[in-house]
Structures are given as C-alpha cells and as structure tokens.
C-alpha cells in the first residue's frame, strides 16, 4: 500500500485559489495526470497535472528545472507525448514527483511567481488518452455487475458458475480506446430480430454503456512469468473513469461460444485524468 505523507494533508492549501474550493474536483490533495496540449494548436502533447481549474504544464516545468532529485527524474518522463515512461518508473518515482508537485503548489511555496505562467485553463486544453495502450482486458467489476449484464443476454441463467471462482474477462481492441468526448460511428453487424430464423445486417438498435473504473498498469512483467500477489500493486500507476460501450443486439447473436467481437470493439472511452494510487491512499 502507498504511504500517507504531507501531500495528503487535508489542511494543505494551494496558491492556485480555484484548488481550494470546497466542492472542487482537483484540490492539491488530488493532482491527477493527463496528456494535453493547448486546444486548436499544433503543439506537441505533453504531461500535465490538474490543479483547480487549470493544468500545470509538466513539460514546461521540466524545462524550468526547479525540482531536483527523484522528483526531477520523474518529471523528465512527463515531457513526452504520452505518460508510459512515467508509469513504468514505479511507485517510488510517482510518489516522489507527487510530493515535489504538492510542495511547489502549496500556498507557502516561493515558486508561485515562476509556476503561475505554466498554468493553462482546463477549458483551453485538448486531451488524449494519457498512455499508449498496447493491450487491455475488460473485467466484470463485481458479482452484481456480472449478474446485471447476464440478465441482458441470458435472463434465465444470468450468472455462470465460473464467476465465483475466477475473474471473468476478455481482451478488447486497444486501438479503439479514445478519450472522453470522442464521436464514434454507430456500430453495425449481424443481429437476430425477435422471432426471426435468420440474422440480418443492421446498425445496432441497442447501444449501451457501462460506467467502469480503468486501471493503468505501469510496470510490466516477463512473458510467461507471473507477478506475485504481494507485488501486484507495485505494478499499478493509477485509475480513471471509463465508459465501456456495447452493441447489445449484435452481442447477443455473436458472443457464443468465443465471447464478444464486433459488439464490443468499436469504442471504449476513458477520462483524460489518471488519479494515482498515492492520491487514493487515505481512502483505502
């Protein structure tokens, strides 16, 4: 588990006044990461962190050279178009960067005059998926989730017995993962209308989505070598909100016996913000 430190202090305030709003999503205790650039610009994407209603430009902060030690090393990984390098450094590196950013953004920081020009309004930014996703796996989140989805496809037998023994999942299409707000085409495929003997080719009439939690895995492992359970959390970087889109009428016809295909591979949308496990430590 991640340790509690001064960056979690609920009394800590920021010189970014919007971060101190009592009902705000991005106080100084959160500091989620993203990949962004100014909207309608030709700039390179780079790492950013949310603070109040702004994004702190981590690429520009790296050039400024005000952090040192492990935090500075981790910050260098944020100057790239995606955050894979940062995520792969492990929890010690992300914890050091979080601590350094929190100290730089706290209300007592003498760095405020130098960092203020690096703030970009969130409404003036364009976002992408924070990391290049090489592969992803979609799990049922709970027995309630598995039962609810099962009722859509198998009302008389919604929960298969294997769910109580292993985490049921399937591999999705990584290339269809997009950032929230992406406009995708309505999927089409074979559907079997009620009472029909033959399927027909049609656009889905049962477009569905499920609000889920996405997990970014940072550190990998050698092919064929398992990660010990006690080490599993050290491979995780952070969490995001995720919408899992489905064409239920296509899925009902095609999913047996090998599982989802065209019904589930057209879009998965994720929040641009990745909340680190360090930020969530007080809520464990």
Which ranges of 45-160 would DSSP assign to H, the alpha helix? 58-64, 69-76, 84-88, 91-105, 112-115, 143-153
Q: Which residues, 6 or more positions from 138, have their beta carbon under 8 angstroms from its beta carbon?
A: 169, 170, 171, 172, 212, 244, 264, 268
- Catalytic residue selected from 62, 73, 144, 145: 145
Q: Which residues, 6 or more positions from 229, have their beta carbon under 8 angstroms from its beta carbon?
A: none
Q: Long-range pairs for 87-91 at CB < 8 Å and ≥24 separation?
A: 87/131, 87/216, 87/217, 87/218, 87/219, 87/237, 87/238, 88/218, 88/219, 88/220, 89/218, 90/218, 90/219, 90/234, 91/2, 91/233, 91/234, 91/277, 91/278
Q: Which residue has the tokens 């990984």?
A: 77
Q: Which residue has the tokens 């409404």?
A: 123
Q: Which helix (H) or strand (E) holds 280?
A: helix 277-280
The answer to whether 171 is a known catalytic residue is no
E runs forming strands in the chain: 33-38, 46-51, 54-57, 119-121, 125-128, 137-139, 169-171, 177-179, 188-191, 200-203, 207-217, 236-247, 268-270, 275-276
Query: Taking a C-beta distance cutoff of 8 angstroms, is the pair 19, 27 a contact?
Result: yes
User: Shortest CA distance to 233 belongs to which of 94, 85, 82, 110?
Assistant: 94
The residues annotated with a catalytic role in the active site are 145
């Amino acid at each position: 588990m991640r340790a509690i430190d001064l960056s979690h202090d609920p009394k800590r305030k920021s010189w970014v006044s919007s971060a101190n709003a009592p009902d705000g999503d991005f106080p100084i205790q959160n500091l989620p990461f993203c990949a962004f650039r100014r909207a309608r610009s030709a700039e390179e994407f780079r790492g950013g962190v949310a603070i109040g209603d702004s994004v702190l430009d981590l690429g520009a902060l790296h050039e400024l050279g005000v952090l040192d030690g492990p935090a500075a090393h981790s910050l260098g990984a944020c100057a790239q178009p995606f955050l894979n390098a940062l995520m792969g450094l492990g929890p010690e590196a992300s914890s050091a960067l979080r601590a350094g950013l929190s100290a730089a953004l706290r209300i007592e920081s003498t760095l405020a005059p130098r960092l203020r020009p690096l703030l970009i309004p969130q409404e003036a930014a364009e976002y992408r998926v924070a990391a290049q996703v090489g592969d992803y796996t979609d799990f049922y989140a709970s027995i309630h989730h598995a039962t609810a989805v099962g009722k859509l496809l198998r009302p008389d037998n919604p929960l298969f017995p294997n769910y109580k023994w292993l985490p049921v999942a399937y591999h999705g299409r990584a290339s269809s993962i997009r950032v929230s707000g992406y406009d995708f085409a309505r999927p089409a495929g074979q559907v079997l209308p009620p009472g029909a003997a033959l399927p027909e080719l049609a656009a889905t009439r049962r477009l569905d989505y499920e609000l889920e939690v996405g997990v970014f895995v940072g550190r990998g492992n050698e092919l064929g070598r398992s990660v010990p359970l006690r080490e599993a959390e050290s491979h995780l970087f952070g969490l995001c909100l995720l919408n899992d889109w489905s064409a239920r009428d296509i899925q009902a016809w095609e999913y047996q016996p090998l599982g989802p295909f065209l019904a589930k591979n057209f879009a998965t949308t994720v929040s641009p913000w990745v909340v680190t496990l360090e930020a969530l430590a007080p809520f464990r």
